[in-house]
Amino acid sequence: MIPRKAFILAAGKGTRMRPLTDTCPKPMVPVAGRSLIDRTLDSLVREGVTDITVNLHHLGDVLKNHLNTRQDVHICFSEESKLLDTGGGIKKALASFGDDPFFVISGDSLWTDGPGESALQRLAAAWDSEKMDILLLLQPVDKMLLTKGVGDYDLKPEGRAVRSLSQTGAYMFTSIRINSPRIFENTGDGAFSYLDLMDRAQAQGRLYALVHEGDWHHISTPQDLAAVNTAFEKNEP
């Protein structure tokens, strides 16, 4: 079963993308004429996701007005007067998700699917609530040709993910994942990093991962954006 709900992290300031993000929220930056966040929404809608929560802070009204033009999915907004970081932002909106697992994706994610099932379908098919708290999508660093990869994780044969503290791992975390809402138990209501939850799940043997079979791009700077934009304009119909 594909999760029917998703959370998109879209509150960040995108400081490394300045000056573009001085006037444009990073998730609205276009690649080949379509914004990053619309590409993510398109992928979620194709898989039957019906309810999406987006957190807002930097240029929040601009992003909210943009997303309100979409008629194909129900979007709720979680506005943050102060940034709550990647964990606290999701925790603030947790009541929207009930007891069911849900997708979490960064608003600046950009990926293309490999042959066969989509990345979201593969994650859903692999999800096992009995043994998993978080299931990550990982990108092989040696396949990242357009943008620079960082070796965040290694992968054990049974599918458990292990963070590489030296960042010399074989894989980079794509920010695309499924998680159970139970990972937020015993967490505070203020700002905290989602990485803390990943580390805790790893320590408990409940952090798993899949290797992405398509491409994923780490867009961090205007130079990254230019490289990806050129490739997409060349290859997309």
pLDDT in tens, 22-61: 898 999 999 999 999 999 999 999 999 999 999 999 898 9
Helical (H) or strand (E) element with 162: strand 161-163
Q: What digits encode the pLDDT tens for the residues 197-214?
A: 999 999 999 999 999 999
Is the model's pTM score more than 0.85? yes
The per-residue pLDDT for 53 is 97
Instruction: Give percent of the chain with pLDDT exceeding 90.
Output: 81
Residue 21 — pLDDT band, cuts 50, 70, 90? confident
What whole-number distance in Å separates Cα of residue 139 and Cα of residue 54? 24
Query: Cα-flanking dihedrals φ and ψ of residue 172, to 5°?
Result: -110, 140
54: number of CA atoms within 13 Å, CB side?
27
Helix (H) / strand (E) element for 209: namely strand 207-211
Average pLDDT, the chain: 94
Instruction: Answer yes or no: is pLDDT of 237 > 70.
Output: no
Q: Which CATH class is domain 5-235?
A: alpha beta
Indicate the DSSP class of residue 115: S
* Closest by CA position to 7, among listed 140, 138, 107: 107
Q: Which two tokens stand for residue 167?
A: 């960042």
Domain ranges of the chain: 5-235
